[in-house]
Amino acid sequence: MNAGLVHRWTGPFSCAANNALSVHRLEQVPFLPMSDTIDHWMRLAARLAVRGHGHVEPNPMVGCIILDRSGALVGMGHHRVVGGPHAEVEALRKAGAKARGGTVIVTLEPCTNHGRTPPCVESLRSAGILQVFYGERDPNPEAAGGEAWLCGAGIPTQQRSTPQTRELIAPFAKRTATGLPWVIAKWAQTVDGRIATRSHDSQWISCERSRAMVHRERGRVDVILTGIGTVMRDDPLLTCRSGSPCRNAVRVVVDPELNIPLDRKIVMTAKTHRTIVTTLPKAFSEKSEHRRALGDLGVGCMKQHSDFRGLLEALRREFDASTVLVEAGGGLTGALLREGLIDEAWVFVGPRLLGDETAFGPARGFTTPRIQDGIPMRLLSVRQRGTDALLHYRFGG
Ligand SMILES: NC(=O)c1ccc[n+]([C@@H]2O[C@H](COP(=O)([O-])OP(=O)(O)OC[C@H]3O[C@@H](n4cnc5c(N)ncnc54)[C@H](OP(=O)(O)O)[C@@H]3O)[C@@H](O)[C@H]2O)c1
């Protein structure tokens, strides 16, 4: 497939320090893609990258495209599994000898370090790649510097950041900068923004297809976080019951007073699905008998931290958590939002309207007299799933 050829490149490559060498190399490059052509391939590379979700974390999701000298697609690859070959290596493998003299379009700057796999920059040079476009700089200082390395090797290299590549790198960039896992809140609401009726009925607001998607996602995260309110009202299992999970999420219940009854489904299944309850230090010591009974059923107890940031740090430390899925009511979701700890929201809007102002909303605990006092969110996508609309939002940045 040829996505459009031009003979004159108008954008500068960034190998300023190596200009003479770069210009010399550029003359040998028979195919110079136009700016919108690169964006087209970068979007495809980003779509490939997403296939690694759930398999590659704590690594970033990365996708790569290789075009031959004439601009024809000869290789595609994505980072499939942590510790496995990087996207560039996968794509080079597919392209074989056709990669020589070709163009690489990759969502992340090629790595320079000997980690679990050899440096991608060396693989690209050995394969005879003539030019590289990458989406985002590598936030990991140990692997960064791919652009400078490639330019030093006489391979013109240019950053082409796009909205898709920025979304892809965000969880990894956050983990690298803060040590905190990526937090996704999910809820199902009616058209008038209610997650449960005044009598706490919430099953089911979303359709079967939406619920199947949530099941799949549970198998791709490290922790599923909920509150005691949800456990008491809905008695959820919070397990992945769709396909084969690529991760075994730990279920964590925020239960300040250690009130969780022994007959809840989440407790009864704790021997097969790891389950932790976090509770205030006072309840932790005063309710030692209940703690023991929970322990006999396989539930671990953890002292609650002074804030939820502390809890996320502990989840990272104790369970190597990279991703947390919050499936809670307005109490817990609101508390996490007040601390600015939720990165992403999936809102399933079911086709019903309650018209009852005492029904429950997805977050509480705020005072917001003016619209501009509300938490700003950025809409990433709108999709139809069965009879629902799925709205995908990003908080902050
Ligand atoms: N439609 C949906 O997608 C969906 C999903 C889940 C749940 N729900 C509905 O939501 C309702 C339950 O909501 P909920 O708000 O009662 O329960 P919840 O959010 O599941 O849990 C609330 C728990 O979090 C604790 N909490 C809140 N802020 C805290 C903080 N700053 N520090 C420590 N702990 C804190 C609360 O403690 P305190 O008791 O001390 O405040 C409470 O125990 C149910 O009706 C359920 O059906 C709907």
HSE at residue 218, side-chain half, CA atoms within 13 A, is 22
Is there a domain that residue 201 lies in? yes
pLDDT in tens, 9-33: 334 444 543 433 343 344 445 455 6
Is there a domain that residue 2 lies in? no
Over residues 228-239, the mean pLDDT reads 97
Whose alpha carbon is nearest atom 35 of ligand 1? 332
Is the distance from the beta carbon of residue 234 to the nearest atom of ligand 1 less than 6 Å?
Answer: yes
User: What is the rounded CA–CA span in Å between residue 97 and residue 47?
Assistant: 25
DSSP category for residue 94: H
Point out the domain boundary residue: 118, 140, 174: 174
Are both 88 and 184 inside the same structural domain?
no
Which atom of ligand 1 is found nearest the CA of 338? Answer: 31
Higher pLDDT, 28 or 395: 395
Task: Write the CATH number for 317.
Answer: 3.40.430.10
Are both 323 and 198 inside the same structural domain?
yes
* d(CA 321, ligand 1 centre) in Å: 22
> Which pLDDT band holds residue 283 (cuts at 50, 70, 90)?
very high
* d(CA 331, ligand 1 centre) in Å: 4
* d(CA 114, ligand 1 centre) in Å: 45
Is the distance from the beta carbon of residue 388 to the nearest atom of ligand 1 less than 6 Å?
Answer: no
pLDDT in tens, 294-313: 999 999 999 998 999 999 99
Give the model's pLDDT for residue 378.
Answer: 96
Across the chain, what does the average pLDDT equal?
91
Phi, psi of 46 (to 5 degrees): -65, -40
Is the distance from the beta carbon of residue 226 to the nearest atom of ligand 1 less than 6 Å?
Answer: yes
Are both 124 and 200 inside the same structural domain?
no
Are both 253 and 272 inside the same structural domain?
yes
* d(CA 238, ligand 1 centre) in Å: 15
Point out the domain boundary residue: 174, 203, 234: 174
Say what percent of the chain tops pLDDT 70: 91
pLDDT in tens, 316-358: 999 999 999 999 999 999 999 999 999 999 999 999 999 999 9
Are both 211 and 156 inside the same structural domain?
no
User: What is the rounded CA–CA span in Å between residue 227 and residue 43?
Assistant: 38
Is the distance from the beta carbon of residue 348 to the nearest atom of ligand 1 less than 6 Å?
Answer: no
Are both 122 and 143 inside the same structural domain?
yes
Q: Which of 170-174, 238-242, 392-396 has the lowest mean pLDDT?
A: 238-242
Q: Which two tokens stand for residue 391?
A: 């709205």
Of the residues 27, 57, 88, 217, which is catalytic?
A: 88
pTM: 0.91
* d(CA 231, ligand 1 centre) in Å: 9
Is there a domain that residue 22 lies in? yes
Are both 59 and 135 inside the same structural domain?
yes
Whose alpha carbon is nearest atom 23 of ligand 1? 227
Q: Which two tokens stand for residue 109?
A: 């700057």
Whose alpha carbon is nearest atom 30 of ligand 1? 335
HSE at residue 1, side-chain half, CA atoms within 13 A, is 10
Which atom of ligand 1 is found nearest the CA of 205? Answer: 1
Catalytic-residue membership of 88: yes
Are both 190 and 159 inside the same structural domain?
no
Q: Which two tokens stand for residue 119?
A: 């440096």
Is the distance from the beta carbon of residue 254 to the nearest atom of ligand 1 less than 6 Å?
Answer: yes
Are both 131 and 254 inside the same structural domain?
no
Is the distance from the beta carbon of residue 225 to the nearest atom of ligand 1 less than 6 Å?
Answer: no
Note down the domain range covering 45: 16-174
Is the distance from the beta carbon of residue 233 to the nearest atom of ligand 1 less than 6 Å?
Answer: yes
Buried b / exposed e over 262-295, threshold 16 CB at 10 Å, is eebebbbbbeebbbbbbbeeebbeebeebbeebe
* d(CA 194, ligand 1 centre) in Å: 14
Are both 118 and 253 inside the same structural domain?
no
Is there a domain that residue 239 lies in? yes
Is there a domain that residue 193 lies in? yes
Task: Write the CATH number for 100.
Answer: 3.40.140.10
Domain count, the chain: 2
List CB contacts of 179: < 8 A, sequence separation 6 or more: 313, 316
Is there a domain that residue 40 lies in? yes
Phi, psi of 174 (to 5 degrees): -65, -45
Is the distance from the beta carbon of residue 12 to the nearest atom of ligand 1 less than 6 Å?
Answer: no
User: What is the rounded CA–CA span in Å between residue 186 and residue 391?
Assistant: 10
Is there a domain that residue 5 lies in? no
Is there a domain that residue 9 lies in? no
Beta strands in the chain (DSSP E): 63-67, 73-78, 103-108, 131-136, 157-159, 182-189, 223-227, 250-254, 275-279, 299-303, 323-326, 344-349, 377-385, 388-395
Over residues 111-116, the mean pLDDT reads 87
Are both 145 and 159 inside the same structural domain?
yes
Give the model's pLDDT for residue 288.
Answer: 97
User: What is the rounded CA–CA span in Å between residue 112 and residue 123?
Assistant: 10
Which atom of ligand 1 is found nearest the CA of 339? Answer: 31
Are both 368 and 219 inside the same structural domain?
yes
Point out the domain boundary residue: 141, 174, 207: 174
pLDDT in tens, 248-268: 999 999 999 999 999 999 999
